[in-house]
Structure 1
Amino acid sequence: MARNFLPRGHVERRAKTDLSLFSGVTPRESKCKVDQLPGQHGAMPKKLSEYGKQFLAKQIAKHMYGILERQFRNYYKKASRMKGATGEILLLLLETRLDNVVYRLGFARTRREARQLVSHRGVMVNDGKKTRIVNIPSYQLKAGDEVLIKEKCQHQGRIQEAMQLASQRTMPEWLELDTVNFKGVMTRLPERNEMPLEINELFIVELYSK
């Protein structure tokens, strides 16, 4: 599986926004100089061109969801063929990936950790017909799907820690969590204002429309 080897601190400093790449166990500020651009002593800030703004918007989305260029472009192509606003549909496709929902439910501290949990066969999905192990992080969930953590994984330290951290933040309204049984339900599709506001999807559409 292709991976992005850029240091997480470098990515967050370049994006100049919190991409939730760190676990939250220790303050993000202790991991990197968040107020300083990458480079020796911090590169001098430059006024971004229109292309620069569009490119940065794409990079923020890619790094936030942990997706490389080819897959991200495929998501855009898929979104452009669907009915509705392309940019919003693109975000919807990214937000309803299995690994992202596992992260949103609080079963993992980061999306990277959620992706690993899924890949290692620690997550099951009930689509209303049957419950089965799904080890594809990009698996697309739909409204009503239930996400469960395998029983043998439920007492892993990192999952317990993730759930403790998640209890300190607000659960998205489009998800329901059952902490006792280690399961959650995607009750409906998220609205635009329930998806990351740090991403300017209009810039992404402008970039790929050229």
Structure 2
Amino acid sequence: MARYTGPKAKIARRFGEQIEGYSKALQKKNYPPGQHGRGRRKKQSEYAIQLAEKQKAKYIYGVLERQFARMFDIASSKQGITGENLLQLLESRLDNTVFRLGIAPTRRGARQLVSHKHIAVNGEVVNIPSYILKPGDIVSVRERSKSLSAITESLAGKSNRYPWLEWNSASFSGKFVSVPTREDIPENIKEQLIVELYSK
């Protein structure tokens, strides 16, 4: 199963943001990685800015190039604003929803839980991280997995909830109530730049 397995701190430094969870490297070295990180020219071309925004979105959601391009095609064929449709599709992924519900502390961790068959959707085990949820779907932790320390510790430390999700702590399950609006999605992504890039 293809996924990015490179250094997380390097990605955070490249974009100047905590992309894949908290990283101390960003505080210690708040400049881009590489031999010319400190002296890199500040002014970027329009294309470079658009490309960087697309790359940032890919790394945030843990999606590789071909899959991201396919999701953009789906988003552009749907009614509504293409950039918003794209973010809604990314937020509707099963691994992202597991992360948002607090079952896993990171999207990487959520992807692993899904791949290892610890998560069920509407009572059926689903091990495809890119599975797209529909409003009304119930995401739950399998009975035999409820005692996993990784899951219990993550749920204990999770405080922020999201308006498009409902969590039931008694049954270790959450409901995907609705597709989130752009205003509800907290990620710092300028989706219009991605649309402009793919429109070239």
Which TM class, normalised by the smaller chain length? over 0.9
> What corresponds to 1:111 in structure 2?
107
Match of 1:172 among 162, 165, 168: 162
Match of 1:81 among 77, 84, 102: 77
Structure 1 CA distance for aligned equivalents of residues 88 and 48 of structure 2: 24
Paired AA for residue 138 in structure 1: S
Alignment partner of 2:179: what SS?
coil
Matched, 1:66 2:62: yes
Structure 1-normalised TM-score? 0.89
The answer (yes or no) to whether the contact 2:101–2:167 under 8 Å persists in 1 is yes
Match of 2:89 among 93, 96, 107: 93
Match of 1:136 among 128, 149, 152: 128
The answer (yes or no) to whether the contact 2:99–2:110 under 8 Å persists in 1 is yes
Matched, 1:193 2:183: yes
> What corresponds to 2:49 in structure 1?
53
Structure 2 CA distance for aligned equivalents of residues 118 and 32 of structure 1: 32
Q: Measure how far apart 1:193 and its partner are.
A: 1.0
State, as a whole percentage, how many aligned pairs show the same letter: 47
> What corresponds to 1:158 in structure 2?
150
Match of 1:44 among 26, 36, 39: 39
Alignment partner of 1:176: what SS?
strand
| CA 1:32–1:9: 2 relative to 1, 3 Å | farther
Structure 2: any 5+ residue segments left out of the alignment? none
Structure 1: any 5+ residue segments left out of the alignment? none
Paired AA for residue 199 in structure 1: I
Matched, 1:9 2:9: yes
Q: Measure how far apart 1:140 and its partner are.
A: 0.6
Aligned residues: 199
Structure 2 CA distance for aligned equivalents of residues 34 and 135 of structure 1: 37
Alignment partner of 1:89: what SS?
helix
Structure 2 CA distance for aligned equivalents of residues 83 and 189 of structure 1: 14
The answer (yes or no) to whether the contact 1:15–1:59 under 8 Å persists in 2 is no
CA RMSD of aligned residues (A): 1.6
Paired AA for residue 34 in structure 2: G
Paired AA for residue 170 in structure 2: V
Matched, 1:102 2:98: yes
Structure 1 CA distance for aligned equivalents of residues 52 and 153 of structure 2: 32
